[in-house]
């Protein structure tokens, strides 16, 4: 999408549907002129003048159709004058009553006066292009809007405040400064003497830059989980009570429960918010050999989702104990972290005493009754402990795009380090150093190509 900053854009900024108040947002050099032609201040006949709209002050009046003179609504108008606005351009917001037809009629008048309809995310794109926020902040704003849990909200808010962006720019500045000294040494080897202390550079790489990048990459894993939810797959033999456990966790009758083994066939997936942390639960078919082709497909799907799980809930019927079949299943899920659920506690005497093979290494073992609900709190606690989000809450966690760039930067710095150890010249090393600097710049959105910006901002809503 070609971006012409001289165009004035407009959109309804509040969600579609009926509400108490609806906002029409206008940004660009013509926005104040357009608003004045449509707006009559309370008690003053005729269209408003530019000086009637003080920056960051609400003014009461009416929106009038200039062609017919018809009054459409009583509104509050606020102007935010360039550069003191969200986009950095002149911005006007019209706060009208929140009826969809009314808002569309006012928007139509704004467009008649020369604005064009904004693309999704275009206001924020302009804020980014005018340097009012870096790309991590724009992405954080999107995370904030989309957050469904308090953990995701805190992460979005930290990103929007620029916490990750500042960290990345500090790293980038320091590397840039090193590159400048390297360049001076390459260009004037005799004049400037030893500008670069190689031992110090090596030490900085090993003790600061590389560990810092690795930490950011690791944090990115948590970022992906916080954005998408930790994938918990409930698995076990038929009739163990998997669907009953799922329904208890969700406090909803989501998955079909019967006493017939082989009830669940397809994957049943549902998001779950536990103590403000996001999970995605998947109930699966009980694992067994079956002659029924539909059930066999269900078992295949169950095995596939076990392989892609962040964590498996292995549900056992306490009455069966660790029999041969469940032992085989434990072996196959062992490659992921798993929690052991001893279900149907109400039917056995001492559920906690049931012996397990010593090779089993569940992250936790919980005895419960999905029928009565006893023990469910312990399972919830085991799940939130396992999520391991506690230390990263409130942090501005990298997303997949950031993470890929940190990996590029770390690889490039790794090459610089290896090159120094084998005695390469600065001019060779500086190529890799610049690759790292560029990768960090990409995180912030420096030299971002329009395709990347399209990809990021097109996911926003119209009016954002
Ligand atoms: N009505 C309304 N509410 C909103 C927004 C908005 O654009 N309009 N925002 C949009 O996402 C968020 C708030 N973000 C904003 C960020 C900066 C400025 C702004 O005018 N900044 C100027 C002036 C600061 C001042 O002087 O107080 C500046 O930074 O120079 C406005 C809103 C959430 N709520
Ligand atoms: N007494 C008792 N019965 C339970 C408990 N949990 C589940 N059940 C019963 O066990 C039977 C099977 O429960 P489901 O939740 O459908 O079991 P499942 O593991 O999903 O079974 P499939 O989908 O066939 O693999 C049902 O009759 C449940 O009511 C429990 O804690 N105590
Ligand atoms: Mg089931």
We report the CATH number of the domain holding residue 431 as: 1.20.120.430
Least confident among 119-128, 219-228, 368-377, 405-414: 219-228
Dihedral of alpha carbons 42, 43, 46, 50, sign: negative
Q: Looking at the structure, tell me whether residues 241 and 348 fall in a common domain.
A: yes
Average pLDDT over residues 249-275: 96
Q: Which pLDDT does position 1 carry in this prediction?
A: 42
Contact residues of ligand 2, CB 6 A cut-off: 236, 238-244, 257-259, 261-264, 285-286, 343-344, 346-347, 369-371
Residues facing residue 21 across a β-bridge: 97
Q: Which pLDDT does position 391 carry in this prediction?
A: 58
3-state secondary structure 265-318: CCCEEEEEEECCEEEEEEECCCCCCCCCHHHHHHHHHHHHHHHCCCEEEEEEEC
This model of the complex carries an ipTM of 0.82
pLDDT in tens, 283-301: 999 999 999 999 999 999 9
Q: Which pLDDT does position 275 carry in this prediction?
A: 87
Task: Reduce the DSSP state of residue 10 to 3 states and report it.
Answer: strand
Q: Give the nearest ligand 2 atom to 244 CA.
A: 15
Report the residue among 24, 86, 92, 123 best suited for mutation to probe ligand 1: largest number of ligand atoms under 8 A from its CB: 86
Q: Which pLDDT does position 2 carry in this prediction?
A: 42
Residues contacting 233, CB < 8 A, separation 6+ = 282, 284, 302, 305, 306, 308, 309, 311, 312, 313
Name the percent of the chain lying above pLDDT 90.
85
Least confident among 52-56, 199-203, 238-242, 436-440: 199-203
pLDDT band of residue 142 (cuts 50, 70, 90) is very high
The mean pLDDT of the chain is 94
We report the CATH number of the domain holding residue 111 as: 3.30.1360.120
Q: Looking at the structure, tell me whether residues 292 and 417 fall in a common domain.
A: no
Q: Looking at the structure, tell me whether residues 28 and 61 fall in a common domain.
A: yes
**Which range marks the domain in which residue 237 is found?**
230-387
Q: Looking at the structure, tell me whether residues 245 and 364 fall in a common domain.
A: yes
pLDDT in tens, 404-461: 999 999 999 999 999 999 988 888 899 999 999 999 999 999 999 999 999 999 999 9
Domain finish residue from 106, 132, 158: 132
Q: Which pLDDT does position 369 carry in this prediction?
A: 98
pLDDT in tens, 166-176: 999 999 999 99
Q: Which pLDDT does position 197 carry in this prediction?
A: 85
Q: What's the pTM value of the predicted model, to 2 decimals?
A: 0.85
Please count the other Cβ atoms lying within 10 Å of the Cβ belonging to residue 191.
9
Q: Looking at the structure, tell me whether residues 380 and 245 fall in a common domain.
A: yes
From edge to edge, which strands make up the β-sheet containing 19-27? 39-41, 58-64, 71-80, 91-98, 19-27, 9-12, 116-117
368 C-alpha vs ligand 2 centroid, how far in Å? 12
Q: Looking at the structure, tell me whether residues 234 and 370 fall in a common domain.
A: yes
Q: How many domains does the chain have?
A: 3
We report the CATH number of the domain holding residue 353 as: 3.40.50.300
Dihedral of alpha carbons 201, 204, 210, 212, sign: negative
Q: Looking at the structure, tell me whether residues 349 and 420 fall in a common domain.
A: no
Q: Is residue 451 part of a domain?
A: no
pLDDT in tens, 331-371: 999 988 999 999 999 999 999 999 999 999 999 999 999 99
Nearest CA owner, ligand 1 atom 21? 85
The finding on whether 80 has its CB within 6 A of some atom of ligand 1 is yes
274 C-alpha vs ligand 2 centroid, how far in Å? 23
Do residues 298 and 265 lie in contact, with contact meaning Cβ atoms separated by under 8 Å?
yes
Nearest CA owner, ligand 2 atom 17? 241
Do residues 342 and 367 lie in contact, with contact meaning Cβ atoms separated by under 8 Å?
yes
- Ligand number nearest CA of 131 is 1
Q: Give the nearest ligand 2 atom to 368 CA.
A: 31
Binding residues for GTP: 239-244, 258-264, 283-286, 369-371
**Is a pLDDT exceeding 60 seen at residue 5?**
no
Q: Which pLDDT does position 110 carry in this prediction?
A: 98
Average pLDDT over residues 42-51: 95
Nearest CA owner, ligand 1 atom 10? 86
Q: Looking at the structure, tell me whether residues 158 and 253 fall in a common domain.
A: no
Give the largest CA-CA distance in the chain.
88
84 C-alpha vs ligand 1 centroid, how far in Å? 8
For the ranges 124-128, 389-393, 425-429, the maximum mean pLDDT occurs at 124-128
Name the percent of the chain lying above pLDDT 70.
97
> Residue 320, class by beta-carbon neighbours within 10 Å (0-12 exposed, 13-18 middle, 19+ buried)?
middle
Residues facing residue 134 across a β-bridge: none
**Is a pLDDT exceeding 80 seen at residue 377?**
yes
Q: Is residue 460 part of a domain?
A: no
Nearest CA owner, ligand 1 atom 24? 84
pLDDT in tens, 71-110: 999 999 999 999 999 999 999 999 999 999 999 999 999 9
Average pLDDT over residues 154-178: 96
């Amino acid at each position: 999408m070609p971006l012409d900053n001289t165009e004035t854009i407009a959109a309804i900024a509040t969600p579609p549907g009926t509400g108490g108040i609806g906002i029409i947002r206008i940004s660009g050099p013509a926005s104040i002129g357009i608003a004045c032609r449509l707006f009559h201040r309370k008690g003053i006949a005729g269209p408003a003048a530019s000086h009637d709209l003080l920056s960051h002050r609400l003014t009461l009046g009416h929106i009038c159709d200039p062609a017919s003179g018809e009054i459409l609504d009583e509104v509050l108008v606020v102007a935010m004058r360039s550069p003191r606005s969200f986009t950095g351009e002149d911005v006007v917001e019209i706060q009208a009553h929140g009826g969809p037809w009314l808002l569309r009629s006012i928007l139509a008048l704004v467009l008649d006066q020369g604005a064009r309809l904004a693309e999704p995310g275009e206001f924020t794109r302009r804020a980014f292009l005018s340097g009012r926020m870096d790309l991590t902040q724009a992405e954080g704003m999107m995370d904030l809007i989309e957050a469904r849990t308090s953990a995701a909200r805190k992460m979005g808010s930290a990103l929007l405040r620029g916490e990750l962006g500042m960290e990345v720019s500090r790293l980038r500045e320091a590397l840039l400064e090193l590159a400048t000294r390297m360049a001076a040494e390459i260009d004037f080897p005799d004049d400037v003497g030893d500008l670069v202390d190689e031992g110090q550079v090596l030490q900085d790489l090993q003790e600061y830059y590389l560990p810092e990048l690795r930490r950011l990459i690791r944090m990115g894993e948590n970022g992906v989980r916080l954005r998408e939810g930790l994938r918990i797959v409930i698995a076990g033999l038929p009739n163990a009570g998997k669907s009953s456990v799922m329904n208890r966790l969700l406090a909803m009758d989501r998955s079909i429960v019967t006493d017939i083994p082989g009830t669940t066939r397809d994957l049943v997936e549902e998001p779950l918010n536990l103590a403000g942390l996001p999970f995605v639960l998947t109930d699966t078919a009980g694992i067994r050999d079956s002659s029924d082709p539909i059930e066999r497909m269900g078992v295949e799907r169950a095995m596939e989702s076990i392989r892609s799980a962040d964590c498996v809930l292995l549900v056992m019927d306490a009455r069966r104990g660790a029999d041969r079949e469940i032992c085989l299943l434990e072996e196959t899920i062992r490659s992921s972290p798993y929690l052991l659920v001893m279900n149907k506690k109400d039917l056995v005497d001492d559920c906690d005493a049931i012996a397990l093979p010593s090779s089993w290494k569940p992250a936790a073992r919980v005895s419960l009754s999905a029928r009565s609900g006893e023990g469910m709190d312990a399972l919830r606690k085991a799940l939130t402990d396992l999520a391991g989000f506690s230390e990263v809450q409130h942090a501005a966690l990298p997303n997949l795009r950031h993470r890929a760039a940190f990996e590029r930067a770390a690889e490039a710095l790794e090459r610089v380090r290896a090159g120094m150890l084998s005695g390469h010249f600065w001019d060779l090393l500086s190529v890799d150093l610049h690759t790292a600097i560029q990768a960090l710049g990409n995180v912030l959105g420096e030299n971002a190509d329009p395709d990347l910006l399209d990809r990021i901002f097109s996911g926003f809503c119209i009016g954002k």
